[in-house]
């Protein structure tokens, strides 16, 4: 496939949340989603006051797990805390990405439904491209579906060996 060609968005609605460390990128992310034809739902935070990222990751993860949105984009200082917190929720597959290959593979191979970005790691232009990659890349399925299903095994009580 020619990667320079625009692709259709894979999601209709995406929730966006950040902490104070991620606030600088949130408007870029919301704007890019609109440009892609994806409905953004802004869950805050809205000011630079210090807040705790797990609360925002949880609010977004619950909406994705509950089917209110198909995916989420979470932004904190590094993208790490948001992803760790979101991944505690059943059905959530969050990936922290700071280059395009990982953002594309997170969708194609891991069926990631949360993209986590670090506003102290990447700039606005790269953030927009990561949002584009994440939203326009489909899951490849096949052998990857078996592996993605296996990711959920511990939360189903199937601890294995
Ligand atoms: C907040 O200072 C910072 O710790 C947070 O945004 C994030 O980087 C955590 O992973």
The pLDDT value recorded for residue 70 is 98
Domain that holds residue 83: 13-152
The pLDDT value recorded for residue 51 is 98
* Annotated catalytic residue 20: no
Nearest to 99 by CA among 126, 124, 80, 71: 126
* Mode of pairing for the β-strands spanning 13-18 and 114-118: unpaired
The pLDDT value recorded for residue 6 is 60
The pLDDT value recorded for residue 161 is 64
The pLDDT value recorded for residue 159 is 80
The pLDDT value recorded for residue 1 is 44
CA 42, CA 63: separation in Å to the nearest integer?
A: 12
Nearest to 138 by CA among 95, 108, 93, 101: 108
Nearest to 125 by CA among 107, 98, 104, 105: 98
Q: Which two tokens stand for residue 26?
A: 């949130």
Which atom from ligand 1 is nearest to the alpha carbon of 78? 8
In a domain, 89, yes or no: yes
In a domain, 74, yes or no: yes
In a domain, 159, yes or no: no
> The domain spanning residue 133 has which CATH number?
3.40.1400.10
Segments of the chain with pLDDT less than 50: 1-2
In a domain, 22, yes or no: yes
Given the residues 20, 97, 109, 159, the one annotated as active site: 109
In a domain, 52, yes or no: yes
In a domain, 3, yes or no: no
Pocket flag, ligand 1, residue 79 (CB < 6 Å): no
The pLDDT value recorded for residue 120 is 98
Q: pTM for the full model?
A: 0.95
The pLDDT value recorded for residue 33 is 98
Pocket flag, ligand 1, residue 40 (CB < 6 Å): no
The pLDDT value recorded for residue 67 is 98
In a domain, 161, yes or no: no
Pocket flag, ligand 1, residue 53 (CB < 6 Å): yes
The pLDDT value recorded for residue 7 is 82
Domain count, the chain: 1
């Amino acid at each position: 496939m020619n990667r320079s060609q625009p692709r259709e968005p894979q999601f209709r609605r995406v929730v966006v949340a950040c902490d104070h460390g991620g606030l600088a990128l949130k408007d870029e992310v919301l704007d890019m989603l609109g440009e892609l034809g994806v409905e953004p739902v802004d869950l805050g935070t809205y000011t630079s006051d210090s807040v705790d990222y797990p609360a925002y990751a949880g609010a977004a993860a619950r909406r994705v797990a509950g089917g209110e949105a198909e995916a989420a984009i979470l932004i904190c200082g590094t993208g790490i805390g948001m992803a760790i917190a979101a991944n505690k929720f059943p059905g959530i597959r969050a990936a922290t990405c700071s280059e395009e290959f990982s953002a594309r593979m997170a969708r194609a191979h891991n069926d990631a439904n949360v993209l986590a970005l670090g506003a102290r790691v990447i700039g606005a232009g790269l953030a927009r491209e990561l949002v584009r990659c994440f939203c326009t890349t489909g899951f490849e399925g096949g052998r990857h579906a078996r592996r993605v299903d296996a990711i959920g095994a511990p939360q189903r009580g199937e601890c294995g060996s």
